[in-house]
Structure 1
């Protein structure tokens, strides 16, 4: 309405000038129109009023003509801004209901926003509701609609790919992510989901080749986690297809940098344990931790299950002498001793550990020792305590 006020002010000033001007000059002047034998004469003031009336009439007629044309073509909005306000209200009501967990109300409200301009957010929200309700086809439909909006394209593609993963359509998920533009493919959500998708497909080599370039887009500790998964996946694939001998050969031919990487070492030892090669695993665990416990390798000691675990036991006992209040060391010593059949050492270490902190795994292992020694009453008591303890 601002423009209309300005136009009226200008017209008012023009009329005032037409009236006051001639009065100040003392001469109203006149305008003469002739058409054939007909002549029309009027003073300046009358002519000004006639001119203004003609302009107003022209404006009204033009607006009426445009309104009639829009009515005929179907582009006229009967309720104008009222309809926009209703759609916006429905949009916000839908988001509020969605946040509150009232998905039925949310879906109904968002269903009234399809003709509004919400940059695809309404379709993303509707897709999320459909996905939560387990209606994957409807979720896919809404996401397809959302991809038509440039600002919602990446989010819609990521959501669609996640649905594909849930639906065990890993190849389709990867295809959708690869179809994005180069800049879009470098965004954090896309990189993180693509890494997951490649892992699900077992494409460890491709994942390894891209991991360094994705480092900035991954969460803080994700690079190390993915390095471990890649190593574990590759080693498991080689062992399952070619056997333990080829696995060892592959390890020996890896670059020194990878063979010195804790993530790769832990994955390799884990695969040796999975293949039943506990003696080889023990040799590496002891050799790689001469300077002290390694956070990636130390937990693997508890999986050793061989009669002669003396190298591991000696190493663990030497660490205990340097750190006598470390519960994890006593617990691991007890586990290794138990697996090797040395119940006396195992019980001694585990009792020491439980005095420091009563943990579920230690109490259950003590129960197993008592049961193996046919002390049923003690075994039952320790078992009950273990079930009540915190792991």
Structure 2
């Protein structure tokens, strides 16, 4: 509206100048227009005013004409701001109904927003409703519409890729993710989904090649987890095809950097355990942790099943002396002793562990130890206590 006021002010100044100028010079000036036998005579001021009035009238007629045409074309601006307001209200009503779980109402509301300017977010929300209603074809259609909007394109591609993965079509999901723009390729969720697609297809080497570039885009825990999965996948493939000895030889050929990577070490030890090579696994666990315990190795130590785990027991007892309030160390010692058949040491360690921090697995082992002693009452007590924990 500002430009309209400026235009009107300019016209007013022009008319004022036309009126005042002839008065100052004492001459109005005349214009004679002759068309056939008809002659029209008017002052210069009258002519200018007539031209201005004609221009304003033409502008009003033009606007009116296009407004009427929009009614027949189905334009989303039929009623100006009133139509926009109705679509905006429908959008908010759809979001509210979606949160409330009123899916039918949400679907109806979002259908009224298709001609509005919501940067594709309305299509994303409508797709979520359609997914909850198990309308698979409609979900895909709505997400395709959302991809046409720059601000919702990435979100739509991510959801589409997740749907592909749910259907087991990891190759299509990866192709879709690779189609995003260069900047969007660094989106954290895009990276995570790419990694998952590569892992599900067993493309461990390609995943390993990309992981270094993705490290800054992933959380530390995610990076460690993916390093483990890569190592576990590659080691499992070697062990299953060539055997445990080939796995050990492969480990020695790895670059020093990888052999000192805790995630790779954990994956290698897990494969040794899976292959029944518990003594080799114990040796690795002792060699790769000296004064301080590596938290990633604790679940592995609990899996060891050795008749004589004396070296590991001594190491655990040494770590416990330096950290007497560490429930995880007592728990680990209890598990190692339990698998070795040393019920006395196992019960002692596990009782200390649950005293510091209750753990369902530890309580179940205590219940089993009590059953071995035929103390059914205590076994039942530990069992109930363990089952009460989530």
Bin of the TM-score, shorter chain as denominator length: 0.7 to 0.9
Q: Quickly say closer, same or farther: Cα 1:70–1:380, change in 2 above 3 A.
A: closer
The equivalent residue for 1:229 is 229
Asked if the contact 1:330/1:350 (under 8 Å) is kept, the reply is yes
Q: Distance in 1 between matches of 2:301 and 2:291?
A: 16
Deviation larger for 129-138 or 302-311: 129-138
The equivalent residue for 1:127 is 127
How large is the RMSD of aligned CA atoms in angstroms? Answer: 2.8
Q: Distance in 2 between matches of 1:82 and 1:372?
A: 79
The equivalent residue for 2:368 is 368
Deviation larger for 132-141 or 228-237: 132-141
Q: Distance in 2 between matches of 1:377 and 1:298?
A: 31
Q: Quickly say closer, same or farther: Cα 1:26–1:376, change in 2 above 3 A.
A: closer
The equivalent residue for 2:353 is 353
Q: Which structure 1 residue ranges, 5 or more long, are not aligned?
A: none
Q: Quickly say closer, same or farther: Cα 1:345–1:70, change in 2 above 3 A.
A: closer
The equivalent residue for 2:257 is 257
Q: Distance in 2 between matches of 1:60 and 1:357?
A: 81
What's the CA shift string for 1:281-300, capped at 9, x where partnerless? Answer: 12222222233322222331
Deviation (angstroms), 1:252? 1.8
Deviation (angstroms), 1:271? 1.2
Q: Quickly say closer, same or farther: Cα 1:245–1:11, change in 2 above 3 A.
A: same
1:380 and 2:380 are equivalent in the alignment: yes
The equivalent residue for 1:216 is 216
Q: Which structure 2 residue ranges, 5 or more long, are not aligned?
A: none
Instruction: For 1:60-71, list aligned pairs within 5 A.
Output: 60=60, 62-63=62-63
Asked if the contact 1:22/1:28 (under 8 Å) is kept, the reply is yes
Q: Distance in 2 between matches of 1:340 and 1:165?
A: 43
Instruction: Indicate the SS of the match to 2:292.
Output: coil
Instruction: Indicate the SS of the match to 2:295.
Output: coil
Q: Distance in 1 between matches of 2:308 and 2:319?
A: 19
What's the CA shift string for 1:259-295, capped at 9, x where partnerless? Answer: 1211111111111111222122122222222333222
Q: Quickly say closer, same or farther: Cα 1:65–1:327, change in 2 above 3 A.
A: closer
Deviation (angstroms), 1:67? 6.0
Instruction: Indicate the SS of the match to 1:33.
Output: strand
Asked if the contact 1:94/1:106 (under 8 Å) is kept, the reply is yes
Instruction: Indicate the SS of the match to 2:296.
Output: coil
Q: Distance in 1 between matches of 2:67 and 2:346?
A: 92
Instruction: For 1:67-106, list aligned pairs within 5 A.
Output: 78-106=78-106
Q: Distance in 1 between matches of 2:67 and 2:257?
A: 76
The equivalent residue for 1:153 is 153
Q: Distance in 2 between matches of 1:229 and 1:171?
A: 19
Deviation larger for 281-290 or 372-381: 372-381
Q: Distance in 1 between matches of 2:148 and 2:163?
A: 19
Asked if the contact 1:334/1:347 (under 8 Å) is kept, the reply is yes
Asked if the contact 2:32/2:39 (under 8 Å) is kept, the reply is yes
What's the CA shift string for 1:321-377, capped at 9, x where partnerless? Answer: 333343322222221111111112222323333444444333322221221233333
Asked if the contact 1:285/1:297 (under 8 Å) is kept, the reply is yes
With the length of structure 1 as denominator, give the TM-score of the two structures. Answer: 0.88
Deviation larger for 358-367 or 144-153: 358-367
Instruction: Indicate the SS of the match to 1:296.
Output: helix
Asked if the contact 1:124/1:142 (under 8 Å) is kept, the reply is yes
